Amino acid sequence: MTDHIETAARRALFIQRIALALFLAVWAVDKIVRPVHASGVFAHFYGIDLAQEMSIWVGIAELVLIAAFALGLWKRWSYLLVFLFHLVSVVSSWKIYLALYGEGGNLLFWAAIPVLAAFWVQYALRDLDTLALDDHLADRAAGRA
C-alpha cells in the first residue's frame, strides 16, 4: 500500500474504533445506571433472568472490554470479543428483523446490521489499525518509540 492509503486506513480505523466503542459503552453504562431496564432486556432478548445487582457487574465487565477495544489493546482478542458480543445481540433480535414493518418490528434495530459489519471490518483489518496501544507498546519494546 502507498503511504497515503496506509495513513488514511489508520485514521479511518481509529475513528471507527472510537465510534464503535462509544456505541457499546452506551449499553454498558445502561446496565449500571438502569439495572432494572437491563434485567428486562436480558429476560426479553436472551431468556436470562439476570438479577439487577448482577447487571451492574456485567456492565462493569463490558466497560473493561470496551476500554481495551477503544485503546487498541490485545487487538486480536478484544476486537474479536466485541464483534462476537454484538453478533449475539443481533442474533437474539432476529424476530424484530423479520417483522420489519409488521407487529413487533422496529426499524431502528436494523442499524445494528451495518454496525456488526463495522465490527467485522475492525477485526479483519486489525493489523492496519496501528493507532493503537498494542502497536505503541510493540514500538517501545523494539526501541522505535
How does the average pLDDT of the chain come out, rounded?
91
Residue range 77-118, pLDDT digits in tens: 999 999 999 999 999 888 888 877 878 777 788 899 999 999
Grid cell of 133 as nine digits: 496501544
Give the separation between CA 5 and CA 60, rounded to whole angstroms. Answer: 37
Sorted by sequence, the CB contacts under 8 Å of residue 39 that are 6+ apart come out as 49, 50, 51, 52, 55
Locate 137 and state its grid cell.
507498546
User: What is the domain partition of the chain in residue ranges?
Assistant: 3-141
- The model's pTM is 0.88
